[in-house]
Structure 1
């Protein structure tokens, strides 16, 4: 068995979420430790509050048969911090151990072995310098180097400006010709050594603006022994083009940066130095300029060799190395075998909204403007806080954080009060609602998420509602990858706080009825596919008949309100059928109320009618990941709340499909149908007039004169055409047939018997 107090040394409380911190306390209590043990360890966290551990300790109980949190939790957290069960305490991470921002180690400096630097025995300085030049430069590129020094104010030998007028190809040729570095590059001071610039120059100078290609950066440190520098550089797999021992206290790594310009060079060098620092290699930041000097291999310095330790080490390129660093630093869990958990599968999260959303999951409410989305989210806030229903769905009672990004503080607070009153719910649990007003202070979601998590860690929220998200979107909402990164912030909030996240977004432009509910939200399809529950609001176009029926209902409500106020036991005088009739109700009320009471009733009726006329109709459809989809839910937005369509008058309305071409085709078809019927009626009326009883035929000339139609048009209508194929059949059923003319006889319409022609 482990001493859990010893294992706590491996766990940094500042790196834990609130729930993990509580789990440590639960485990200590379960295993028989004292609250003071938990309190002493917790003091290392800046969030520590005196007395909180002791207050929380008393609430830890093993109830309802739930499995207790045991010491195994602390062991697992200690492993994450570097504890090795097989080695025990002697192998704890020391204070120099490097841990990434995400908690994953790139290099554990407590375990890293130094890599000694051994001077080469068969040293060939000329060939080393040639190899260096061939590795870093093209033959036509100018190289800057320094072999001359001066005495600085501190008495040290420092490099002068040097030369930059020769190419790598020229230097290599000189080295091969003379087989002597001094003869090729100039004599150097063996006490100081010599230097070389690792990026190509334009031949005009040695400043940053003279660099022609931002190809390499220098990683050099003299704060730790060279053997440790060598080990870290190689363990980090830096994309090193050339590694040179300085002959003194440092190793010089010429690292492939491969930047397109100076701006990108600076960003990559900052990132490179940051990674090195996190892993125990404190880089000399004075060397970050692209025109900086580095130690030249093949040179003697104070009796020691400046020599080439290797070329093209580590990863092949900057991109490959950066991807590798990201992979090492990921915070992904390891795969688990299903067989290991088959008999102990964790329970599903409890429902927050019955049949719609579980605790710790995500929900998106989408809809067009003026759908009352913000009011719907306030209604949801109240429903969770009070443990009531939302749009007909039962909600579990809990604590809510409402993040207001759009309204000023006063307007937001008034809305909550207005919605409470309109719902008719007593405000008994206002302590369950926190409002974070951020209008004018909102930041992009990737910056907001950590701030939100930090403020919420100890609040135990069951749901966090963010309204609306367009205020905090980062990037292009039509970009799938950018919106995936945006939506990942919601996952972080859910994971860190174990709370559901609910947010709303607007529809794309145009009518939406012809689209699937998950395709209506504006921007990338990620919005529809990311949440565990998507509820979509679509407006319904209310017909005049429905409005008239609702007007009648409003008259009845206003009348009943007056009768309730002025007439005692009026229900006993009015039958059930009459109570459904506006006319009958008003006639009864007129017989019972005096002038003043009737005036009051008129006010009530007028208010109810105005309310009904201003209501808009909506349909909610759900796309759910955890539950079967529910039947479409029809609602009225009766400002400031949504109410169910209790009269069920909306169920047969189809949302506007939004396709203007289809609508034009439908209108045209109706017009043609009407026009066709008018043409048929005209023919039949004309034929009845021209062919009285006993007349078997008339000429086309006669029919054309009466109808005003051309003879060709009459022939097409009576014989049939592609445009009007049904017209000829109808005329034949009525007993008329077209007969073509001959040289002796004109074309005619004759009377026939359709049944036995």
Structure 2
């Protein structure tokens, strides 16, 4: 704390403070545990007002009574107002959309720059008043109030220190008076000590003071070097094309460059000055860091300082504005490769990245899986993670084996780990290479992708991942997902991860609302079309509506398979005729006859088989690929918790419900309603005949009374249910 306070005091000149401000510094020092000598040592810098022993006597009167406490925060604010910039802790800095992970802003080679000496103006030709007028006209508007100082005092180090000076006159007033002063600059600006020179502020003031808070517009910043050869300073300022409004020789060891920053406020001013100083230092221009505050004094041209002159070297050099200069700096440091001539590589083409998912995705590329809810996208990504780790197939695509990071943004840790266990078992894989899978659980801790990317890169570095799988991306989207500009910047974060880690990035996203079947696969993902056009591979899932006939067929196959598995346990399969193996009715009869002791257990387990079969959903994957030819749509069953390829082709001819024309949708809907109505009527008649009439013959009039329908309607229902009518009685089929 002590070193921090003393560092802050270096920014506060006691001669610029009024009495109460000076006392406040003393009270703050006492509150923070300093001694009276610390206050006195600092106060000696104001030689005009300093009186030995005054600090000690005043110190004893400081009492921290209620409402009269001054803390170190007061010193901090005073230093901050005078140019102190607190250091930024690097670990708290979040990357913005436009930030570069690298930080190389070298524009010129400072060791090889050609120096540019400056020459003192000839004494007979030098016109000090004209120089100062040109300086004022370049930097200020007529109505701007200008601060300047011609009076100074000598501190204990023998250094001339400026006073507050004047801050009441406008640039227009000064220019007018200078033009009428007949060459006597002192008449307008005040006499100055030639040993010390004179100073001027480069930003306009409000006329009430000369602190940062009195600056009305943040137009310029000062670049000054005290520890470099003047000719090299001059050369580097020009080589860097700094947007310099006025370039002034200080009459001492430095050149003062008044640089256009055109900031909207003090916050932007600090940000731009930090950037300016960073570029200068990167390129060998050794900057005086204490010149950051906007109310800073610079050397006034047209003034003598010792044996030298403070003179205007040049005006309006380099780039014309801050924006133009910043764009130039960024373009020079865009880290983009130089164009190459095709002829140079024609006979030695570079090797393509190996295939990560055969025929779908290469190593180091990006893939998006999109689909609606309940498509099992997360399960598909877990299946893919396992397939890459084990070097097995994903669905029917061969996968390269390697290490994978799965970034879990949605599930709690326990659920995520259990899901991996469930999928391993459902895929019938042994976890021989689970050490290839790293899981980063971030539920409740996720941050926007622009902040996640550098954290991810830092954790994944040197792990040699072949893929980073992010599930799902809606948790880390920054900005409006319908904005192409914002989503392009969002997707650029995936490029950073791919480039920095040399691995593939695979992620999933949801469909937009509404019908999707009639859209192209690349237009279904929610938000901007950037989502579909950015990845190298897009796999899109859309649900297929399975007919009742197919559902019954699939249930029949599942029951037959289940029964055969039981029969094989006892090596009785050779007794089952081939035709019977495809009928669930026959297979159940065989189980009942051959496995009587186990039949009750079989029927109990069969309930789960039927329920699981009924819960299956059908899906179609369509692919949009940048590196490979487009594959034929792939049809899948999602049999929780994994997807299975439809090898039978039963799903091939199904059109997604949303893809049907309106007339077809209406027709199918009507057919469904009619079929349901017929089924309901048949069930009602069956129940009445079998249950309610106790097995006695049923007459048409009984059904008319039961359902309160006329004779013709009941006869139609009976016929549709498969019965016939004879002499007024309802006859069962086969009777």
- Distance apart, 1:538 and its partner CA: 1.3
Equivalent residue number for residue 327 of structure 2: 323
Distance in 1, Cα, partners of 2:109 & 2:442: 42
Partner of residue 133 from structure 1, selected from 124, 132, 136: 136
- Confirm or deny that 1:445 pairs with 2:449: yes
Give the SS at the match of 1:141. coil
Structure 1 residues 84-106: Cα deviation after superposition (integer angstroms, max 9, x where no partner): xxxxxxxxxxxxxxx99455631
**Count of matched residue pairs:** 569
Contact 2:105 2:329 in 1 (8 A): no
Structure 1 residues 121-149: Cα deviation after superposition (integer angstroms, max 9, x where no partner): 23211111000011011112211111112
Give the SS at the match of 1:538. strand
- Say if 1:669 and 1:505 are closer, same or farther in 2 by CA, change over 3 A: closer
- Confirm or deny that 1:654 pairs with 2:658: no
Equivalent residue number for residue 429 of structure 1: 433
Matches within 5 A, 1:138-537: 138-178=141-181, 179-537=183-541
Distance in 2, Cα, partners of 1:194 & 1:665: 90
Distance in 2, Cα, partners of 1:118 & 1:405: 65
Distance in 2, Cα, partners of 1:123 & 1:668: 98
Contact 2:246 2:312 in 1 (8 A): yes
- Distance apart, 1:442 and its partner CA: 3.3
- Runs of 4+ more than 6 Å apart: 668-671
Give the SS at the match of 2:359. coil
Contact 1:404 1:436 in 2 (8 A): yes
Equivalent residue number for residue 92 of structure 1: none
Structure 1 residues 193-235: Cα deviation after superposition (integer angstroms, max 9, x where no partner): 1111111122232222322221111111213233322222111
- Say if 1:101 and 1:351 are closer, same or farther in 2 by CA, change over 3 A: closer
Distance in 1, Cα, partners of 2:669 & 2:514: 24
Contact 1:562 1:597 in 2 (8 A): no
Equivalent residue number for residue 612 of structure 1: 613
- Distance apart, 1:329 and its partner CA: 0.7
Give the SS at the match of 2:643. strand
- Distance apart, 1:320 and its partner CA: 0.4
Contact 2:106 2:279 in 1 (8 A): no
Contact 1:243 1:254 in 2 (8 A): yes
- Confirm or deny that 1:582 pairs with 2:584: yes
Distance in 2, Cα, partners of 1:172 & 1:261: 27
Contact 1:561 1:604 in 2 (8 A): no
Give the SS at the match of 2:153. strand
Structure 1 residues 652-694: Cα deviation after superposition (integer angstroms, max 9, x where no partner): 32224389xx7599649998xx9xxxxxxxxxxxxxxxxxxxx
* Greater mean alpha carbon deviation, residues 266-275 or residues 443-452: 443-452
Structure 1 residues 167-186: Cα deviation after superposition (integer angstroms, max 9, x where no partner): 11111110010132101111
Give the SS at the match of 1:216. strand
Distance in 2, Cα, partners of 1:419 & 1:266: 54
Contact 1:515 1:657 in 2 (8 A): no
Matches within 5 A, 1:599-748: 599-657=600-658, 663=662, 667=666
Q: CA RMSD in A?
A: 2.4
* Greater mean alpha carbon deviation, residues 207-216 or residues 598-607: 207-216
Distance in 1, Cα, partners of 2:505 & 2:102: 25
Contact 2:391 2:399 in 1 (8 A): yes
Give the SS at the match of 2:658. coil
Contact 2:623 2:631 in 1 (8 A): yes
- Distance apart, 1:536 and its partner CA: 0.8
- Say if 1:549 and 1:443 are closer, same or farther in 2 by CA, change over 3 A: same
Contact 1:463 1:501 in 2 (8 A): yes
Distance in 1, Cα, partners of 2:653 & 2:239: 69
In the alignment, structure 2 segments of 5+ residues that lack a partner are 1-99, 674-735
Contact 2:427 2:642 in 1 (8 A): yes
Structure 1 residues 263-310: Cα deviation after superposition (integer angstroms, max 9, x where no partner): 222211111111112122232232212222111110111121111011
Matches within 5 A, 1:14-93: none
- Say if 1:158 and 1:664 are closer, same or farther in 2 by CA, change over 3 A: farther
Distance in 1, Cα, partners of 2:214 & 2:374: 60
In the alignment, structure 1 segments of 5+ residues that lack a partner are 1-98, 675-757
Equivalent residue number for residue 573 of structure 1: 575
- Distance apart, 1:500 and its partner CA: 1.9
Distance in 2, Cα, partners of 1:546 & 1:669: 16
Structure 1 residues 427-468: Cα deviation after superposition (integer angstroms, max 9, x where no partner): 222232233333344343333333433443433222222222
Structure 1 residues 30-75: Cα deviation after superposition (integer angstroms, max 9, x where no partner): xxxxxxxxxxxxxxxxxxxxxxxxxxxxxxxxxxxxxxxxxxxxxx
Contact 1:362 1:502 in 2 (8 A): yes
* Greater mean alpha carbon deviation, residues 440-449 or residues 611-620: 440-449
Distance in 2, Cα, partners of 1:267 & 1:369: 45
Give the SS at the match of 2:418. helix
- Distance apart, 1:377 and its partner CA: 1.1
- Say if 1:391 and 1:666 are closer, same or farther in 2 by CA, change over 3 A: closer
Contact 1:559 1:604 in 2 (8 A): no
- Say if 1:436 and 1:333 are closer, same or farther in 2 by CA, change over 3 A: same
Distance in 1, Cα, partners of 2:663 & 2:190: 88
Contact 1:104 1:330 in 2 (8 A): no
Give the SS at the match of 1:562. helix
Contact 2:390 2:433 in 1 (8 A): yes
Give the SS at the match of 1:110. coil
Distance in 2, Cα, partners of 1:454 & 1:669: 56
* Greater mean alpha carbon deviation, residues 456-465 or residues 578-587: 456-465
- Say if 1:226 and 1:444 are closer, same or farther in 2 by CA, change over 3 A: farther
Distance in 2, Cα, partners of 1:656 & 1:163: 81
Matches within 5 A, 1:588-603: 588-594=590-596, 596-603=597-604
Give the SS at the match of 2:369. strand
* Greater mean alpha carbon deviation, residues 437-446 or residues 508-517: 437-446
Give the SS at the match of 2:272. helix
Contact 2:148 2:167 in 1 (8 A): yes
Equivalent residue number for residue 114 of structure 2: 113
Distance in 1, Cα, partners of 2:137 & 2:448: 47
Contact 1:239 1:316 in 2 (8 A): yes
Distance in 2, Cα, partners of 1:104 & 1:163: 40
- Say if 1:666 and 1:403 are closer, same or farther in 2 by CA, change over 3 A: closer
Give the SS at the match of 1:305. strand
Contact 1:510 1:658 in 2 (8 A): no
Give the SS at the match of 1:575. coil
- Distance apart, 1:239 and its partner CA: 0.4
TM-score (norm 2): 0.74
Give the SS at the match of 1:462. strand
